[in-house]
A and B are shown apart, each in its own frame.
Chain A
Amino acid sequence: MSRYELGKLMFEVTRFPRLEEEFERDSDGVLQRYDLTAEEKDALLNKDVRYMYDAGVHPLLLMMGSRVMGIDMREYLGVISGKSPQGLALPNEN
């Protein structure tokens, strides 16, 4: 598992908004530009936050990048902690 390469894509998707658009339109095209295994590409296509968290992608980056990919912080925390966070002002999709 390559935390660097997975993290790199998450970083670039957050940093360059057009990349997220392109990823939605042409995921395979974008994924080809990164040095990823087939399993890692699947994880990104499925927005598998748990996989990336376990691979060691930096949690702050992962949380921010997931948000750009349409997974809000509340959902992110639910996935990585396995429980639903109570009373947190985590911004929802807006």
Chain B
Amino acid sequence: MGEIVIAAGASHAPGITGMREAADPEQSSRFYAGMERMRQAFAKARPDVIVEISNDHLFNFYLNNMPAICIGTGQKHTGPYEPWIGMDQRTLTGHPDLARDLLVAALDEGLPLSFSEELYFGHAELVPLHFLTPKMDIPVIPIMINDFVNPLPPLRAAYRLGQVIRQVVEGRPKGERVAVVGTGGLSHWVGVPEMGKVNSNFDQRFLDELEHAHASGILEYTQNEIDAAGNGAHEIRNWIGVMGAMPEARVEVLTYEAIVPWVTGCAGVVWEP
């Protein structure tokens, strides 16, 4: 039977790889040190495949067809579609077989995911992968939650997604070692005048509740509470997916830095079974 060997939450601000020098060097070096520890934890866990929960940034999907949650069942994924995040174009392998099992299980459980065989990767997918799997040679299954275009799926839908992931992985006869990663957050504003503001109170509270397993506390956050941390803070859904998959893991906050030039409260957290 399969196993979730490690899980993580990692911010995906484009400045992390695209504008390294712009950040205060003490802050960024602490952040990068945290991400290096995360990479080491991943290397030690030896995952065969990464399930990556992120969110589209109005590149794959527009208002003509906006999935609440879309799973990438394709053979490959290319990116970045942004030329300015400090990475060359590359192609990553998918995992259609496991992706299909996840999709079918979710549909059976009353969580009707959309699917796509052609998802393009941007900073939201590639910035964390750059640290976790520098060679980008581990197959990735992207799952994109709508975190930007109202109305958003409720937090509990993301949590349920995580539970389905665990259920499917544990039932896999091939016994894959699976890593689950939630990307994005924490507090940030995008495309609006407040861009550049960070709400460290929100971020600290979120991380505190995460570390002490107060899943129920986080699941009760209201739209207004999250709005107060920015339109980008709704990306915590991606982290909540990880929470749903890892209800009994040991959680460790590796790094948190409020980095204004990267317009984001940047965090890195691991869950170890």
Contacts and interface: CB of A to CB of B under 8 A. Distances in A.
Interface of A: 4, 7-8, 11, 14-15, 58-64, 76-77, 80-83, 85, 87-89, 91, 94
Contacts, number: 66
Interface centre among B191, B192, B196 (most CB of A within 10 A): B191
B151 interface: no
Q: Is chain A's binding surface mostly helix, strand, loop or mixed?
A: helix
B184 to A, nearest CB: 13
Given A85-B196, A89-B23, A60 B260 contact: no
Given A77-B195, A88-B263, A94-B84, A60 B19 contact: no
Contacts of A7: 62-63
Interface string B29-69: 00000000000000000000000000001110011100000
A22 to B, nearest CB: 18
Contacts of A60: 57-58, 148, 190-191, 231
Q: Is chain B's binding surface mostly helix, strand, loop or mixed?
A: loop
Sorted from nearest, which 4 A-B pairs have the closest CB atoms? A59-B191, A89-B22, A81-B193, A89-B261
Nearest to B16: A89
B64 A8 contact: yes
A63 B62 CA distance: 15
Nearest to A57: B191
B83 interface: yes
A88 B260 contact: yes
28 contacts: A7-B62, A7-B63, A8-B64, A15-B59, A58-B58, A59-B190, A59-B192, A59-B231, A60-B58, A60-B148, A60-B190, A60-B231, A61-B62, A61-B191, A64-B57, A77-B193, A77-B195, A80-B191, A80-B192, A80-B193, A83-B193, A85-B196, A87-B196, A87-B261, A88-B261, A89-B19, A89-B23, A91-B18
